[in-house]
Structure 1
Amino acid sequence: MTEVIVVGGGVSGLSTALVLAERGHRVRVWSREPAEATTSAVAGALWWPYRIEPLARVGDWSLDTLRRYEELAARPAETGVRLVEGVHRGERLAALGPWAGELRDVRETAEGLRCRLPLIDMPVHLDWLAGQVRAAGGSVERRRITSFDEAAAEASTVVNCTGLGARALVPDPGVRPVRGQLVMVENPGIREWFTEADPASSETTYFFPQPGRLVLGGTAGADDWSTVPDPRTAEEIVARCARVRPEIAGARVIGHRVGLRPARDAGVRIEAEALPGGARLVHNYGHGGAGVTVALGCARAAAQLVG
């Protein structure tokens, strides 16, 4: 089978590597940073098609991934995936795409959509994915590149899952950061997740109960490259969440996180091209705010192009 190097060790890269390894390819993952330092590790990680295009394909990718998470939720301690109930305030089924009709546990209420959806503890899930890649015969290596030619010198097929890094590596100037800031607090007993998002606003309100912490958000600052948590923004995030659940106001802050969502003006790119020298380059990037949501669906689409 084909020798493949997947460049990028976040959820998209590891998911793609796993699909390829399970299909019998010899797979190596080259990651610039350890999994816990990737953008994927910072994600609040509720399954939901958020800030991602093209809409015509997102639904199928998302549902494909959803079914996988529903299976993995049977082993939450191992996979990091749990099915958790919560509310998307202000959402209505009629305003969503056809994919929403395939959800198994959703109902409309006066407040919005009440759903039971996958909520993923990303550090655990990324570690599980890497372990699955290795168990399938692949490898995960720390490697920084400045050109895809470096990978093409060692493999006949290269898969580009570099996220925001694709802006310089491809190069693709349509790739832009959408900054997300989070606050981690001790959970005062909240068991359900909550979201309220206005796509036209740079401010969102959400909280996700993860093991050992409650994740509060958030922001969606387009073209903002700063990875330094802003104290005033953190205070505003806590205040917005506390208006929904007052007990959050007194919760002890245990950490701050910033992630740069890898958005792309033209939407997700899953496409193949030839590199000088004859190697094949398969792109899988531009997932915006929904990389976790479409990870498996996009991985399978990219794998089809590998052959």
Structure 2
Amino acid sequence: MRREVCVVVVGAGVAGLTTAVVLAEAGASVHVIAEQVPGVTSLAAGAMWGPYLVEPKDKVDQWGQRSPEVFRELAERPSTGVRLTSGVEASRTAEAPPDWATALPGFRSCEPAELPDGFSAGHRFTVPLIDMPTYLGHLLRRFDAAGGTVERRRLASLADVGPASVVVNCTGLGARELVPDPDLRPVRGQHVVVTNPGLTEFFSEDTGPSSDLLCFYPHGDTVVLGGTAIDGEGGLVPDDKAAAGILARCAEVEPRLADARVLEHRIGARPTRPTIRVEAEQRENGTVVVHHYGHGGAGVTLSWGCAEEAASLLTTQEGDRR
């Protein structure tokens, strides 16, 4: 990509930062504008690779397969915050494993003795586990090394970005007002971070559409416990009752967590819409806007695949204009 192409990426969550890295490393001049760097919703993620109730399925399958390839490479460097971790996803209703899990390394069905009380089926596999504060720091350093620049500023509209050949809209829930996009809605997520009592494997329950999630992800000295998925709520104030429920659910599965010390609460509002939006739009003033938002709870999972598609849309638009 030509260096004279000036791209402004709006938003500094995992979607925005990954896209900024892809573009900057491809040779574009990239400037990120965001009110919060990195974005709070991405900081609050658990985070385990795995498509999470998002559409369209054919595109999600395509985008989702690219990210593990990148994460496996990053896992070779501890400073990135990415590790390949084994663990169990279990169900209380003896459901079949999700399609995406069967192709993962080490996949096999669990024996009954491997499952916690109350669970009737489960599957073991190895998957990328991402410590989000460390990982987002890695993306920022990588972006800086590629010559990118960052500006902390709240935008009233996408027209306020200033001079740019292309604007990439990675504003997540903010796109509801900036585009505007009435199809976006928040799904509030809360995690509790505790000291690690010695866990090395993850655990996740397939809870379907329930607003009460059950998962724990070990990240060295800490464990991220989850969670909630409250549709239509976007507040970021910790909910003590929800936190107590998270702790109780996780301790029932792993008793060692009952005495773990609470370190912090992480809350985010997942930007959710009927389908993820990754597409280009040419506005009346001639500005090309590449929209890249609406990933719900799968932002980390789809980050590299979606970022590369957004970059390809930008390249196509630039080619058409020359």
Query: Quick one: which amino acid aligns to residue 72 of structure 2?
Result: E
Instruction: Quote the offset at 1:295 in angstroms.
Output: 0.3
Asked whether 1:104 is paired with 2:112, we answer no
| Counterparts of residues 26-45 of structure 1 (less than 5 Å) | 26-35=29-38, 37-45=39-47
Partner of 2:7: 4
Q: Which residue of 2 aligns with 1:258?
A: 267
Amino acid aligned to 1:16: T
Q: Does the CA contact (< 8 Å) of 1:84 and 1:118 recur in 2? A: yes
Secondary structure of the residue aligned to 1:268 is strand
1:27-71 CA distance string (max 9 Å, x none): 111111121x52101100111111221111111111100110001
Q: In structure 2, what is the equivalent of residue 206 of structure 1?
A: 215
Q: Give 1:232 deviation, angstroms.
A: 1.2
Once the two structures are TM-superposed, the CA of residue 254 in structure 1 deviates from its matched residue by 1.6
Q: Are 2:296 and 1:288 aligned?
A: yes
**SS at 1:126 equivalent:** helix
> Structure 1, residues 50-103: CA drift from partner, whole Å, max 9, x if none?
122111111111110011000100002x21101111111129895533x44542
Q: Report the Cα distance in structure 1 between the residues aligned to 2:280 and 2:310, rounded to whole angstroms.
A: 8
What corresponds to 1:19 in structure 2? 22
Provide closer, same or farther for how the CA distance between residues 88 and 101 of structure 1 changes in structure 2, counting only shifts above 3 A: closer
* Pairwise CA distance, 1:219: 0.6
In 2, distance between residues paired with 1:155 and 1:93? 50
Counterparts of 1:242 and 1:211 in 2: how far apart (Å)? 18
State the match for 2:255 in structure 1.
246
The change in CA–CA distance for 1:48 and 1:160 in structure 2 (over 3 A counts) is same
For 1:298, what is the secondary structure of its paired residue?
Answer: helix
Q: How does 1:224-243 map to 2 (within 5 A)?
A: 224-243=233-252
TM-score, normalisation: structure 2 = 0.90
1:248-307 deviation digits (Å, cap 9, x = unpaired): 112121221211111112x11001111232110000000000100010000001001100
Partner residue in 1 for 2:319: none
Structure 1 CA distance for aligned equivalents of residues 98 and 189 of structure 2: 23
Structure 1 63/93 Cα, relative in aligned 2: closer, same or farther at 3 Å?
farther
Q: Deviations over 1:155-208 (max 9, x none)?
A: 010000000101111111111111111111111111111011322211110011
Q: Which amino acid in structure 2 is aligned with residue 89 of structure 1?
A: A
Q: State how far apart, in whole Å, the 2-side matches of 1:17 and 1:205 are.
A: 33
CA distance in 2, matches of 1:105, 1:155: 46
| Mean Cα deviation higher: 8-17 or 87-96 | 87-96
Matched, 1:117 2:127: yes
Name the amino acid aligned to 1:31: A
* Structure 1: distance between partners of 2:42 and 2:248: 25
Q: Which runs of 5+ in 1 are unaligned?
A: none
- Aligned residue for 1:262, secondary structure, equals strand
Q: How does 1:88-99 map to 2 (within 5 A)?
A: 88-90=89-91, 95-97=97-99, 99=100
Q: Does the alignment pair 1:63 with 2:80?
A: no
Q: Distance in 2 between matches of 1:197 and 1:204?
A: 8
Give the direction of change, closer, same or farther, for the CA distance of 1:144–1:92 in structure 2 (3 Å limit). Answer: farther
CA distance in 1, matches of 2:102, 2:62: 12
Amino acid at match of 2:71: Y
Counterpart amino acid of residue 147 in structure 1: S
Q: Kindly indicate whether the alpha-carbon contact (under 8 Å) linking 1:130 and 1:140 is maintained by their aligned counterparts in 2.
A: no
Which AA in structure 1 matches 2:80?
T
Read off the aligned partner of 2:44 and give its amino acid letter: V
Give the whole-Å Cα distance in 2 for the aligned partners of 1:103 and 1:60. Answer: 15
Aligned length: 302
Alignment partner for residue 268 of structure 1, among 251, 263, 276?
Answer: 276
Q: Quick check: 2:196–2:221 contact (8 Å CA) kept in 1? A: yes
- Compute the TM-score of the two structures, normalised by the length of structure 1: 0.94
Q: Distance in 2 between matches of 1:198 and 1:89?
A: 9
Partner of 1:74 in structure 2? 76
What is the deviation of 1:247?
Answer: 1.5
Task: Check conservation: 1:3, 1:27, Cα contact below 8 A.
Answer: yes
- Larger radius of gyration between Structure 1 and Structure 2: 2
Q: Equivalent residue for 2:55?
A: 53
Shift of 1:19: 0.8
